[in-house]
Amino acid sequence: MKRNRNVKIVATLGPSSSDADMIRALYTAGADVFRLNMSHGDHSEIRARHEIIRQIEKEVNAPIGILADLQGPKLRLGVFAGGSEEIEAGQAFRLDLDATPGDATRVQLPHKEIFDALEPGAHLLVNDGKIRLKVRDCGRDFADCEVEVGGTISNRKGVNVPDVVLPLAALSEKDRRDLDFVMELGVDWVALSFVQRPADVEEARAIVKGRAKVLSKIEKPAAVNSFDDILAVSDGIMVARGDLGVELPVHAVPPIQKRLVRKCRAAAKPVIVATQMLESMIESPMPTRAEVSDVAAAIYEGADAIMLSAESAAGAYPVQAVTTMNNVAAEVERDPTYLQIMAASRSAKRATVADGVVSAAREIAEATNVLAICCFSESGTTALLTARERPQVPIIAMTTVPLTARALCLTWGVYPVMTGDLDRFKTAVVYAVRASRTILGAQAEDNIIVVAGVPFNTPGSTNILRVAPCEEKLIFRQEPG
């Protein structure tokens, strides 16, 4: 299905979007990748949604990406004798390992690793930052704090520790079970929560073993500080602004978002901007103007994808939310200013032959009447490099590898297509013409750019560029074998 925009849309599935009719409607409305949130739903529910997506994929005869989002470690308080307490700014409050129900002066924090890492002056944020505590003194089993922001504190509320790197692995025992499960299912992307350091990503990659692409969620200050190293070992990035906005001042998040998006684009790795993009559409069929501007800002920054969470998973208007996102994206990308921003933010670095070939393809497409850039890639690298250029024509990515095709559903401007094996460049041209006619309605008088690498099936070998006509005789050319 040809979209009327280049940025991709990720839709989270959940109670509001679990049946085949709704998931099909979300795809038709514009969802390119479906997110399975491992924090909600048991394995049988996740399996059922996965099967529906793969069935729709067969019906539409086009790859659909599936992203499994792991929950990550959850840090929570213990319980209070009365269920909750009121604490006031300026008072003392203790966190400790004692399982005795808490009161207005103390409560259990059943995470020894937090106490091992805390130092005086560090902050602890409770219930998404609604309660703010500052550590005055601490030891191996306690932290004496001053309440900086008070309010109601209650059972098992989440705790954030923004000022220190915690000695916690990004994968909990639940995450490991979930990871084994989704690898058996066959998802295309795995999103890691609670990433603090490159080693967290490498640990997951060792388990995944190339069976899926690994995406790091940037939701902690430690991850922002180590971003370059995390990006180097990740296949993609999610800017998870919700947790970033809890652990960092909210005014710091927009420049961080812009900086991370640009770094991902320079590295030719897809980046998703996520969290609360159309939050009001959980309950309303219309978004606020501020939300529309927020979605537009992510697109103007050059993000590969924008994501819906509760809006499509649990909201009352999931299809309308996807439709709204699609319409905003289409309108932004028609804006001449958008094209100027994409050109101005293009990386000038050309380090390899492949960089030069895809840059030349984009320049030719802009200077002549070319319908599309068609590239062949088993690993997806050529398509990623082409997308980094943000050309003004569609990118058709041809591959024989299902994982590559589905994973590229997350990449800006790319239409992934499964093809047969290649034996020579002429066959590549045949496949490219067929795909251009099927997806874009190319006619005989249209030209396309074909990019490939010889020898075929060799990563990083992109070295050929050809401008080819979409002649009818190529459609009926006998395929090899």
Look up the CATH number of the domain holding residue 293. Answer: 3.20.20.60
What pLDDT score does 54 carry?
98
Copy the structure tokens of residue 469.
């006509």
Does residue 113 share a domain with residue 44?
A: no
**DSSP annotation string for 134-156:** EEEEE-SSEEEEEEEE-EEEETT
Q: Can you count the helices (H) and strands (E) in the chain?
A: 18, 21
- The residue range of the domain holding 257 is 8-72+170-332
Does residue 138 share a domain with residue 37?
A: no
| Strand, helix or coil for residue 14 | coil
Residue 79 inside a domain? The answer is no
Look up the CATH number of the domain holding residue 434. Answer: 3.40.1380.20
Does residue 468 share a domain with residue 364?
A: yes
Domain-terminating residue out of 126, 160, 194: 160
Residue 395 inside a domain? The answer is yes
What pLDDT score does 481 carry?
42
* DSSP secondary structure letter of residue 102: B
Does residue 409 share a domain with residue 461?
A: yes
Residue 197 inside a domain? The answer is yes
Residue 480 inside a domain? The answer is no
Kindly give the confidence (pLDDT) of every residue in the chain, 481 residues in length, as a single tens digit, with 9 standing for 90 and above: 789 999 999 999 999 999 999 999 999 999 999 999 999 989 999 999 999 999 999 999 999 999 999 999 999 999 999 999 999 999 999 999 999 999 999 999 999 999 999 999 999 999 989 999 999 999 999 999 999 999 999 999 999 999 899 998 889 999 999 999 999 999 999 999 999 999 999 999 999 999 999 999 999 999 999 999 999 999 999 999 988 999 999 999 999 999 999 999 999 999 999 999 999 999 999 999 999 999 999 999 999 999 999 999 999 999 999 999 999 999 999 999 999 999 998 876 778 898 999 999 999 999 999 999 999 989 999 999 999 999 999 999 999 999 999 999 999 999 999 998 877 888 889 999 999 999 999 999 999 999 988 777 666 678 899 999 998 665 555 554 4
Indicate the angle between helix axes 173-185 and 198-208, nearest 10 degrees: 40
CA distances from 256 to 12, 262, 289, 441, 461 (A): 24, 10, 22, 40, 34
One-letter identity of residue 476: F
Q: Are 190 and 214 in contact (CB under 8 A)?
A: yes
Does residue 359 share a domain with residue 455?
A: yes
One-letter identity of residue 194: F
d(CA 78, CA 99): 7
Does residue 203 share a domain with residue 153?
A: no
Copy the structure tokens of residue 18.
């679990």
d(CA 207, CA 190): 11
Does residue 117 share a domain with residue 237?
A: no
Active site residue 438: no
Please state, as a whole number, how many other Cβ atoms lie within 10 Å of the Cβ of residue 24.
Answer: 17
Does residue 415 share a domain with residue 375?
A: yes
Please state, as a whole number, how many other Cβ atoms lie within 10 Å of the Cβ of residue 403.
Answer: 20
What pLDDT score does 480 carry?
47
What pLDDT score does 361 carry?
96
Rg (CA), the chain: 24
CA angle (409, 413, 414) in 5-degree steps: 45
Q: Is the pTM of this model over 0.85?
A: yes
Count of residues making up the chain: 481
Active site residue 76: yes
Contacts with 476 (C-beta within 8 Å, 6 or more apart), sequence order: none
| Strand, helix or coil for residue 255 | helix
Among candidate residues 3, 54, 76, 262, the one labeled active-site is 76
Q: Are 194 and 243 in contact (CB under 8 A)?
A: no
Domain-terminating residue out of 160, 185, 214: 160
Residue 165 inside a domain? The answer is no
Handedness of CA 436, 437, 442, 443 (dihedral sign): positive
Look up the CATH number of the domain holding residue 125. Answer: 2.40.33.10
Domain count, the chain: 3
d(CA 412, CA 286): 26
Active site residue 211: no
Residue 77 inside a domain? The answer is no
Active site residue 105: no
Among candidate residues 217, 220, 269, 390, the one labeled active-site is 217
Among candidate residues 5, 8, 12, 35, the one labeled active-site is 35
What pLDDT score does 144 carry?
98
Does residue 302 share a domain with residue 183?
A: yes
Domain-terminating residue out of 303, 332, 361: 332
Residue 127 inside a domain? The answer is yes
Residue 345 inside a domain? The answer is no
Does residue 190 share a domain with residue 317?
A: yes
Q: Are 160 and 245 in contact (CB under 8 A)?
A: no
Q: Choose among 433, 451, 385, 374: nearest CA to 412.
A: 385
Does residue 407 share a domain with residue 272?
A: no
Does residue 358 share a domain with residue 304?
A: no
427, 432, 434, 439: CA torsion to nearest 10: 160
Q: Choose among 401, 402, 415: nearest CA to 371.
A: 415
Q: Tell me: the pLDDT tens digits for 109-146?
A: 999 999 999 999 999 999 989 999 999 999 999 999 99
